[in-house]
Structure 1
Amino acid sequence: MNLNAPPRRPDRPRNRSGALNRPGQGGSAEAARLEAEHHPGLPARLAAAAILGDIIGKSHSLEECFSPGAIPARLGGLDARDVALARSIVTVALRRLGTIRAALGELLEKGLPRQVAHLEWTLIAAAAQVLFLDVPDHAAVDLAVRATRLESKTAPFAGLINGVLRNLARGREKILAESDPLDLDTPAWLAARWRKTYGEELARAIAAANRDEPTLDLTVKSDPALWAQRLGGIVLPTGSVRLITHTSIAELDGYADGEWWVQDAAAALPARLLGVGPGVSAADFCAAPGGKAAQLAELGADVTAIDRSAERLKRLAANFQRLKLHADVIVADIVGLKAQPFDAILIDAPCLSTGTIRRHPDIAWTKKPTDIAALVAVQARMLDKAVELVKPRGAIVYCTCSLEPEEGEMQVAALLRRNPDVIRWPIAPAEVGDVAGVINENGELRTLPCHLPAADPRLSGLDGFFAARLSRRG
């Protein structure tokens, strides 16, 4: 089959002379629609390429791009199977973006012409399939070429795209053998930071863990062993249940009855450190979507869930309704909050989120080192507000899902320096399942993606989290 020749079909739109229209000429929109309709999988590839451009080129988040109200909408008209395929392509492309770009760079010594620079997204989407997904090479190449022909501006480069992708497939073994998780698939500024903070060995282990598919962890209301058995999972030392399944979450046993909720095992630790019980007033700052607030409510605390996003709090309310739990919900900016003092406060502060790259691979490519200073300032104001609103001898747990010390260890140290009324309340290893290496010398929690290793990557690892427990002097 000559991939450089346009397919001939009687139902393709023709111009007045009877010749087939090429996409980009008269009837181009209709031609593109028919082309997509007659090639299963092409709409999903087109959506994946466009979404990669939105994420890498415009810093939209992965979740935002696949949400029902995404703007611009790239998924209109796609069935559930095509949406799932598009998401798989985008996710693996982001997870292995450095490897893909390096390989394409070797094959495109002069790069792409400026007028068709957006073809990079088509190439990246196709390369992700060729290198990392169970897609036949000919299908990935063919659909990328067809996508290229849909625009008059890009159609002349169909031969180039064909050649590059075929050479990529031929060089796959060498490309994968030379792929480095830290030096290629981690942005250089993050790799440098992790080397400085954690050393070469740990930095490499973090980067390697980020290339694996994320785990699926549940927080259960009671009897983790029973739910692990019923759902075919295991109980982690921390008490979370970890599953290997591709079944829809809503179809799993116990979901409709509100017996559990999805929550990474590391994310489930901070709320437990507050030590709340029945009758204790507890505030959850930045509470949506509600996993930690649900833990506090399940322990019997009188929970006030606070978040500045009304839309996100709607999701929290829906989760609480399914779980049959209660919380007082307040839409407010934490820094300006006026409230009666609480016995305990949990601060899940906004942060760079670099501890969740395995789960959200877009973070590696949308965040910038210049983002840190603004986030650190917000975190400091939240900590000061928590000290103001906690009762004497009350507990504060501050946590972030960031690997960056400015947002964790250094943030707490700065609070202790500026406020002598605050003291650190060390965390004991037994409180976090005696997981090796997660408590630092100051009694603070620091989990890494490479912690909790297992022979099967699907049962291995934790989100990167920092948590410190503090108290206000009486």
Structure 2
Amino acid sequence: MADNGVAARRAAAGLLGQVLGEQVMLSEALGASYMQKLDYEDRARAQRLATETLRSLERVDRIMKPFLRKPPPLAVHNVLRIATYELCTGGAAHGVVNDAVSSVGANKRTEKMKGLTNAVLRKVVDKGPEEWAKLRVPRLPKWLRAPLSLAYGSENVGAIERVHFAGAPLDLTPKGDGAALADAVGGTLTATGSVRIEGAVQVSALAGYAAGDWWVQDAAAALPVAILKPKSGEKIIDLCCAPGGKTMQIAASGAEVTGVDTSDRRMQRVRENLERAKLSADLVVGDAMETRGQYDAVLLDAPCSATGTIRRHPDLPLVKDGSEFGELIELQAQMLAHAVTLLKPGGRLVFCTCSLLPDEGECQIEDLLEAHPELETDREALKVDGVDPVWITQEGGLRLRPDYWAEQGGMDGFYIALLRKPA
């Protein structure tokens, strides 16, 4: 059977060009016009090829290096990268090589490199798959690996890298009965109550999608609200709420929830998800630092480095370099201080970040407790279903890492703390 994947492969190479050449996050690059022109299957294939090539980039470049005297132009290099990934992971040689040569030849600036493309990939066909299996799991860049090794030890960082390389399953947060949803979608119920699905699936085709029985949310990302334990009738504000999973969890509890986010585009997605799930929330497009009022509970999922999400976003360490950390850490501290002012007497504050860096988690809570000695962390609140007590940290927060649940597909890196204000 002919392999008609040329459109998807060209688009995947284009996505790599935006990520590696322009430092655009893959999630943003997916909105490019050339992606929107593809049908669903080609668009999904292009995204998968780009994602997995970026995840495997260290291996891909090592495989090609002996066959290149010098790096070719980026456009050609990215075509070769996509093809090398496919050839080393079971792709049909004839279709992959022909499409790569065709893609290079279709561009007037690179058409003279058709011969090089063919020659390199023929060598990859012969030697690539065998060499691929010998190579180590791709490592995080030094700017990130160094602080993580300091925090968790190099052995644990190696375990995190193995989970990153394995990729991530799809997690769903059920609105109702998790066990019933797991049966309906062919997934498994995790210890924390999320439903996990292995393999590639079309989300909108899953049972219960149209009825709003669930929403996509990593198991770790669902824990802050499980720890908050919202109650019917409570008045709760979710700061920085997009894409809305936590707002939806709070709304499903019966609490009166206000969601705040600066992005109208991202807030539109929250509106759509709430509508699909038949849930209601008061949504405010604006700056969280300008919010006012008194609430029974505040949830602050603060802007952060997102280093805990690399198993889902392998492009992140290739686009970022850590230079924004200082600014983010200062913003988190300011937002935490403001969040405290929104608490009623006796209120509770959940602070969380999808970061692996202690400076964006443990250190923030230590500093907050020093500035507000009246606040207390609630360790007992962290002991929800599926949480290992050894994950609770010295200052009273919860540290989640990708290598936890490694055999079941891991989880996003997260930090979560619940603080209480005196009555």
Q: TM-score, normalised by structure 2?
A: 0.94
1:422-452, CA deviations, whole angstroms, 9 ceiling, x for partnerless residues?
Answer: 3222245631424364322333111111111
Q: Which residue of 2 aligns with 1:108?
A: 68
Asked if residue 398 in structure 1 is aligned to residue 351 in structure 2, the reply is yes
**C-alpha distance in structure 2 between counterparts of 1:51 and 1:174, whole Å:** 27
1:427 touches 1:439 (CA, 8 Å); kept in 2?
no
The structure-2 alpha-carbon separation of the partners of 1:467 and 1:41, relative to structure 1 and needing over 3 Å to count, comes to same
- Letter matched to residue 294 of structure 2: P
Aligned equivalent of 2:298: 345
Match of 1:430? 383
Amino acid at match of 1:398: F
- Structure 1 stretches of at least 4 aligned residues deviating more than 6 Å after TM superposition: none
Q: Secondary structure at the match of 2:317?
A: helix
Within-5 A mapping of 1:439-454: 439-454=392-407
Q: After superposition, what is the alpha-carbon deviation per residue over 1:139-188, rounded to whole angstroms, capped at 9, x for unaligned?
A: 2122111212123332222222222222222222443233222xx34223
- Does residue 470 (structure 1) correspond to residue 419 (structure 2)? The answer is yes
For the 8 Å contact 2:381–2:418, the answer to whether it is kept is no
Deviation at 1:269, TM superposition (A): 0.3
Q: Of residues 63, 81, 92 in structure 2, which corresponds to 1:136?
A: 92
CA–CA distance in 1 between the matches of 2:406 and 2:13?
34
* Structure 2 match to 1:329: 283
Distance in 2 (alpha carbons) for counterparts of 1:260 and 1:41: 33
Partner of 1:118: 75
Aligned to 1:368, the other structure's residue is in SS state coil
Match among 212, 228, 232 for residue 166 of structure 2: 212
CA distance in 1, matches of 2:145, 2:380: 29
Match of 1:189 in 2: 143
Alignment partners' CA distance in 1, 2:281 and 2:109: 55
Contact between 1:148 and 1:157, CA under 8 Å: does it hold in 2? yes
Which residue is equivalent to 1:21? none
What is the RMSD of the two structures over their aligned residues, measured on CA atoms?
1.9
Aligned counterpart for 2:230 among listed residues 260, 276, 279: 276
Partner of 2:39: 79
Q: Distance in 1 between matches of 2:61 and 2:200?
A: 29
Once the two structures are TM-superposed, the CA of residue 205 in structure 1 deviates from its matched residue by: 0.6
Residue 460 (str. 1) matches residue 415 (str. 2): no
Aligned counterpart, 1:26? none
When Rg is computed on C-alpha atoms for both structures, the one with the higher figure is 1
Is 2:227–2:382's contact at 8 Å kept on the other side of the alignment?
no
**Unpaired segments ≥5 residues, structure 1:** 1-37
Structure 2: gaps (5+ residues): none
Instruction: Give the direction of change, closer, same or farther, for the CA distance of 1:273–1:190 in structure 2 (3 Å limit).
Output: same
1:245-298 per-position Cα deviation (integer Å, ceiling 9, x unaligned): 544222222222222111111100001211220111100001111110111111
Given residue 19 of structure 2, which amino acid in structure 1 is its aligned partner?
A: I
The one-letter code sitting in structure 1 at the alignment partner of 2:318 is W
The structural deviation recorded for 1:88 is 1.6
Greater mean deviation of Cα atoms: 171-180 or 226-235: 171-180
Q: CA-to-partner distance for each residue in 1:314-347, whole Å, 9 max, x for gaps?
A: 111111111111111111111122x211110001
**Aligned match of 1:178 in 119, 134, 159?**
134
Q: Which residue of 1 aligns with 2:23?
A: 59
**2:270 aligned with 1:316, yes or no?**
yes
CA–CA distance in 2 between the matches of 1:209 and 1:195? 16
**In structure 2, do the counterparts of structure 1 residues 94 and 185 end up closer, same or farther at CA, with 3 Å as the change threshold?**
farther
Alpha carbons 2:87, 2:129 under 8 Å: kept? no
Give the letter for the 1:374 counterpart. E
Residue number among 326, 330, 341 corresponding to 1:388 in the alignment: 341
Alignment partners' CA distance in 1, 2:171 and 2:345: 35
Could you tell me whether the CA contact under 8 Å between 1:91 and 1:361 is conserved in 2?
Answer: yes
Amino acid of the structure 2 residue aligned with 1:93: T
Relative contact order, higher structure (CA 8 A, sep 6+): 2
The verdict on how the C-alpha distance between 1:121 and 1:308 changes in structure 2, with shifts beyond 3 A counting, is same
Cα gap change, 1:399/1:48 in structure 2, threshold over 3 Å: closer, same or farther? same
